[in-house]
């Protein structure tokens, strides 16, 4: 929360308090003894104005503070109001009741204002001023309702801010995950093809092959840029068939045998986009982390996908295959949760690595 927002929320009570002060003016004027000298009346009114300003200033000063701080500010002001009520007019206690209701929790408000009502009743009962007791009780009830309304409004604003912050965090997580999924594969493939083109140019005179690889690099670079734009705008949709073609091309450029199915028709449509991201992540990890791999197999079913390679199974295969700053296999697992699919990844017993995605049911 910014300092400006905090200041605005601290002063939420000022407008209601000022409005109540306007309502209280006739009560204060009516409670002044007409037999007093004019200077005594002026002194009483000045004292009431100062006390009113003090009561208006307390709520923004004590929020958001601890209960000890609130009591330390409120109780002395209430005590001062009691003194002023004895020497000026009992209606001063109305302001003390308003201020305590604006600041303290409900239980303490009932305790403090209940004490004010009881004390006022004892002092004024013989003076036939019972109406003031009724006014004090009514003001307390009104202020409790107003305090509940203000606090509810404040909680709603805080909840709105938290929802907005969570939405921003979720969007950042989505962009980070999608950028990893998009750029991880594209840049890895570009690196592989650039290395192949360099080797071709260094070892042979097969300029046509090198030119073809360079053309493919240019195409992949443009596609990566388009993918970034689509990711940022939230309009990117992965195609399992397109990922199958792209993965096969990348693996063959790296010198691996790509044993892939010819079509993706067997996969249920509801899973195809999620499986496309899984295939992209798996093939990217094969290109990055499979030491000495010569072959990569992909198998598809109605509600499952499996990718295997015969690379060296390193000791931290699960961790290395899921690298990506927390957006590799972790991000993929989060994406798969959205369609009810489960991710399994780990080294094979003899040699190689396996990534399998499976869902419990096939959507019709």
Mean model confidence pLDDT for the chain: 74
Q: How far apart (Å, rounded) are the C-alpha atoms in residues 203 and 195?
A: 12
Q: What is the pLDDT of residue 4?
A: 47
Is 154 domain-assigned? yes
pLDDT tens digit string along 9-66? 455 556 666 666 665 666 566 556 666 676 776 776 777 677 777 776 776 666 666 7
**In the structure encoding, which two tokens stand for residue 347, read together?**
């080294």
Residues 257 and 121 occupy one common structural domain: no
Q: Which residues pair with 305 in a beta bridge?
A: 300, 357
DSSP 267: S
Is 182 domain-assigned? no
Residues 133 and 247 occupy one common structural domain: no
Q: Which residues pair with 295 in a beta bridge?
A: 257
Q: How far separated are the first and last CA of the chain, in Å rounded?
A: 47
Is 147 domain-assigned? yes
208 Cβ contact list (under 8 Å, min separation 6): none
- HSE, side-chain direction, 13 A CA sphere, residue 248: 14
Looking at per-residue confidence, does 129 or 158 come out higher? Answer: 158
Q: Is the pTM of this model over 0.75?
A: no
Q: How far apart (Å, rounded) are the C-alpha atoms in residues 218 and 14?
A: 64
Strand 257-259 versus strand 295-301 pairing type? parallel
128 Cβ contact list (under 8 Å, min separation 6): none
Is 183 domain-assigned? no
pLDDT tens digit string along 233-242? 555 567 889 8
Is 125 domain-assigned? yes
Provide the domain limits for residue 348: 238-364
Cite the DSSP H helix spans in the chain.
Answer: 3-10, 14-30, 38-62, 67-87, 92-103, 106-124, 130-203, 207-232, 240-253, 269-289, 317-321, 329-337
Q: What is the pLDDT of residue 15?
A: 60
Q: Is residue 326's pLDDT more than 60?
A: no
Question: Residue 254: is it exposed, middle or buried by C-beta count within 10 angstroms (0-12/13-18/19+)?
Answer: buried
Residues 10 and 156 occupy one common structural domain: yes
pLDDT tens digit string along 268-325? 988 998 899 899 889 888 888 777 888 999 999 999 999 999 887 554 444 444 444 4
Of 140, 164, 188, the domain-final residue: 164
Q: For residue 190, how many other CB atoms are within 10 A of its CB?
A: 20
Residue 358 zone, left/alpha/beta (φ > 0; ψ -120 to 50; rest)? beta
Q: How far apart (Å, rounded) are the C-alpha atoms in residues 139 and 14?
A: 17
**In the structure encoding, which two tokens stand for residue 201, read together?**
């140019």
């Amino acid at each position: 929360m910014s300092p400006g927002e905090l200041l605005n929320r601290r002063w939420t009570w000022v407008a209601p308090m000022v409005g109540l002060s306007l309502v209280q003016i006739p009560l204060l004027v009516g409670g002044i003894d007409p037999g007093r000298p004019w200077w005594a009346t002026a002194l009483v009114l000045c004292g009431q104005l100062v006390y009113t300003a003090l009561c208006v200033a307390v709520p923004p000063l004590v929020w958001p503070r601890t209960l000890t701080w609130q009591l330390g500010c409120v109780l002395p002001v209430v005590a001062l109001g009691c003194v002023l009520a004895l020497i000026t007019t009992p209606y001063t206690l109305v302001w003390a009741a308003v201020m305590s209701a604006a600041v303290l929790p409900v239980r303490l408000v009932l305790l403090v204002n209940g004490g004010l009502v009881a004390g006022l009743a004892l002092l004024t009962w013989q003076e036939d001023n019972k109406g003031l007791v009724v006014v004090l009780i009514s003001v307390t009830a009104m202020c409790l309702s107003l305090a509940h309304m203000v606090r509810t409004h404040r909680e709603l604003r805080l909840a709105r801010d938290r929802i907005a912050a969570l939405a921003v965090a979720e969007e950042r997580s989505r962009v980070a995950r999608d950028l990893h999924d998009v750029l991880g594969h594209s840049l890895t493939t570009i690196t592989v093809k650039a290395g192949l083109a360099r080797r071709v140019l260094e070892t042979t005179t097969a300029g046509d092959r090198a030119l073809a690889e360079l053309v493919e690099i240019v195409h992949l670079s443009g596609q990566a840029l388009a993918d970034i734009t689509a990711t940022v705008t939230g309009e990117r949709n992965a195609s399992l068939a397109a990922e199958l073609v792209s993965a096969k091309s990348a693996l063959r450029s790296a010198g691996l045998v790509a044993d892939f199915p010819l079509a993706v028709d067997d996969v249920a449509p509801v899973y195809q986009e999620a499986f496309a991201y899984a295939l992209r992540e798996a093939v990217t990890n094969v290109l990055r982390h499979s030491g000495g791999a010569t072959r990569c197999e992909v198998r598809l079913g109605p509600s499952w996908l499996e990718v295997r390679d015969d690379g060296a199974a390193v000791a931290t295969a699960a961790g290395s295959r899921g690298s990506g700053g927390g957006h590799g296999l972790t991000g993929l697992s989060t994406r798969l949760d959205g369609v009810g699919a489960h991710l399994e990844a780990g080294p094979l017993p003899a040699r190689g690595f396996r990534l399998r995605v499976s869902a419990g049911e096939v959507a019709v």
